[in-house]
Chain A
Amino acid sequence: EVQLVESGGGLVQPGGSLKLSCAASGFSFSNYWMTWVRQAPGRGLEWVANMKPDGSEKYYVESVKGRFTISRDNAKNSLYLQMNSLRAEDTAVYYCVRDRMDSSGWSADFDYWGQGTLVTVSS
Chain B
Amino acid sequence: QSVLTQPPSASGTPGQRVTISCSGSSSNIGSNIVNWYHQFPGTAPKILIYRSSQRPSGVPDRFSGSKSGTSASLAISGLQSEDEADYYCAAWDDSLNGWVFGGGTKLTVL
Which of B2, B44, B90, B101 contacts A115, CB < 8 Å? B44
- Evaluate contact between A107 and B45: CB separation under 8 angstroms: no
Which of B50, B51, B101 contacts A47, CB < 8 Å? B101
- Evaluate contact between B98 and A45: CB separation under 8 angstroms: no
Q: Mark B58-102, 1 if CB is under 8 A from A, else 0.
A: 000000000000000000000000000010101010001111111
**Dominant secondary structure of chain B at its interface with chain A:** strand
Residues of B within 8 A of A109 (CB): 33, 35, 47, 50-51
**Dominant secondary structure of chain A at its interface with chain B:** strand
Number of A-B contacts (CB under 8 A): 61
Interface band, chain B: 20 to 34
- Evaluate contact between A108 and B51: CB separation under 8 angstroms: yes
A27 at the interface (CB under 8 A from B): no
Residues of B within 8 A of A44 (CB): 2, 86, 88, 101-104
Contact residues of A between 11 and 59, Cβ < 8 Å to B = 35, 37, 44-47, 50, 59
Given A44-B103, A109-B50, the answer on whether A60 and B98 have CB atoms closer than 8 Å is yes
Given A45-B45, A47-B99, A113-B44, the answer on whether A108 and B104 have CB atoms closer than 8 Å is no
- Evaluate contact between B44 and A116: CB separation under 8 angstroms: yes
Contact residues of A between 66 and 84, Cβ < 8 Å to B = none
For the complex, what is the distance from the CA of A14 to the CA of B105, rounded to whole Å?
31
- Evaluate contact between B99 and A50: CB separation under 8 angstroms: yes
- Evaluate contact between A61 and B35: CB separation under 8 angstroms: no
